[in-house]
Amino acid sequence: MIRAFLYIFITLMFSSCMEIPRGMEEDITIGDKALFVVNQGNFMYGNASLSFYDPESQSFENEIFIRSNGVNLGDVAHSMTIHNGKGYLVVNNSGIIFIIDIDNCRIEGAISNLTSPRFIYFINSTKAYISDLYAGKISIYNSSEKRIVGEISTEPYKSSENMVSYKDKLFVSCWSGCNKILVIDTNRDEVIDEIEVEMEPNSMVIDKNGKLWVLCSNSPSLFKIDCESFQIEESLYFEDGKYPHNLSINNSGDTLYYINHYICKMDINSTDIHSNQFITSEGKIFFALGIDHSNGDIYLSDAIDYVQNGIIYRFSNMGEPIDTLRGGIIPGYFCFKTNN
């Protein structure tokens, strides 16, 4: 009996089965045309992930960042931008932007020591701006020097979010607890003006006529602003209780898309925001929207309960369903890799 106890005791002592994933560096090949899906993951869980989809073969892979690099993507991956063959993955609550090779997803570099980065936006071949949820500034990054080379204060506004540019002007939305669009002169790197909209401007696009469209979610509204004069030309208000978000535009710059429970489609010359439903939700809760500018296909995500892998729907530009995919946790951003 004592022997039996000793046996159990020794077995227990040396039992060990802990394993943190490490060192896996799977070779992943990403074709010339692909969709990257940035899965946010849950705040303070560190379970963000990256997926990719080949629209032609309709093959789909999850967790490609950890599989190809052997490390986690981090906590709350917010956006991804492709520039000069490199992918810039912004991981908000890890305070880092990973630079990856978009053909195999391998890490090539990183921009670190950021406060709470949200987006990176290139205005020419080497110069990019990095917005930040809390920092009260926009960082200026030079991709040839591979370092932060300057900053633009956004004070008194702490939060900077979406960025779009028109000629030498950069428009920056101040989303969190704010109602301003800042105008930055990209030659002088200075804030030269600000435009007041409604609270929480969450997304922006510029149409083919040089008009800036801004979608606000608190006091739900859509604004049309002239990019030269910074004057508001249209102020369109949704019904109270709505939460419109994810304003996008097609490749020709003449049709707007956004999520307002349904997927709404609106001509840039229209002012009708109430009867423009394009794709019904039918029990889905759309979370993110992306337009493939090469063919107009529409990608939508549903985070379901936000603690399981979400669903990605692909529709044609006519709104016909093409494919359904199972992504990562909270698929929140679509980034398209194209031949050009």
The SS3 of residue 135 is: coil
> CB 44 → other proteins: shortest distance, Å?
7
> CB 185 → other proteins: shortest distance, Å?
20
Q: CB under 8 A: which stretch of 161-169, 226-234, 270-278, 308-316 binds other proteins? A: 308-316
Sign of the C-alpha dihedral computed for residues 48, 297, 169 and 191 taken in this order:
negative
Q: Is residue 75 near other proteins by the rule CB under 8 A?
A: yes
Q: Binding other proteins by CB under 8 A: which of 47, 79, 165, 203?
A: 47
Sheet holding 117-122, edge to edge: 117-122, 127-132, 137-142, 147-153
CA–CA separation, 74 and 72 (whole Å): 5
Which class for 321: exposed (0-12), middle (13-18), buried (19 or more C-beta within 10 A)? exposed
**β-strand partners of 147:** 142
Q: Is residue 4 near other proteins by the rule CB under 8 A?
A: no
Largest Cα–Cα separation, the chain: 90
Token pair recorded at residue 78: 């917010």
- Strand pairing category for 137-142 and 127-132: antiparallel
Q: CB under 8 A: which stretch of 16-24, 120-128, 164-172, 228-236 binds other proteins? A: 16-24
Helices (H), the chain: 2-14, 64-69
Q: Binding other proteins by CB under 8 A: which of 34, 55, 69, 257?
A: 69
Q: Binding other proteins by CB under 8 A: which of 6, 7, 9, 280?
A: 9
Q: Binding other proteins by CB under 8 A: which of 54, 60, 103, 107?
A: 107
Binding to other proteins in span 111-140, by CB under 8 A: 112-116, 134-137
- Measured from the CB atom, the residue of 102 and 227 that comes closer to other proteins is 102
Q: Is residue 221 near other proteins by the rule CB under 8 A?
A: no
Binding to other proteins in span 259-298, by CB under 8 A: 283-285, 287
The rounded Cα 250 to chain-centroid distance in angstroms is 17
Stretch 225-264: interaction string toward other proteins, x if CB under 8 A: ------------------x-x-------------------
**Prior bond to 156 cis, omega within 30?**
yes
Q: Binding other proteins by CB under 8 A: which of 38, 163, 170, 178?
A: 178
Q: CB under 8 A: which stretch of 88-96, 119-127, 224-232, 270-278 binds other proteins? A: 88-96
* Beta carbons within 10 angstroms of residue 266's beta carbon: 20
Size of the site for other proteins (CB under 8 A): 85
- Measured from the CB atom, the residue of 294 and 324 that comes closer to other proteins is 324
Q: Are 226 and 218 in contact (CB under 8 A)?
A: no
DSSP readout, 12-29? Answer: HHH--------S------
Q: Is residue 157 near other proteins by the rule CB under 8 A?
A: yes
Q: Are 61 and 54 in contact (CB under 8 A)?
A: no
Q: Binding other proteins by CB under 8 A: which of 109, 237, 278, 317?
A: 109
> CB 68 → other proteins: shortest distance, Å?
12
Q: CB under 8 A: which stretch of 108-116, 123-131, 206-214, 290-298 binds other proteins? A: 108-116
- Measured from the CB atom, the residue of 268 and 285 that comes closer to other proteins is 285
Q: Are 33 and 339 in contact (CB under 8 A)?
A: yes
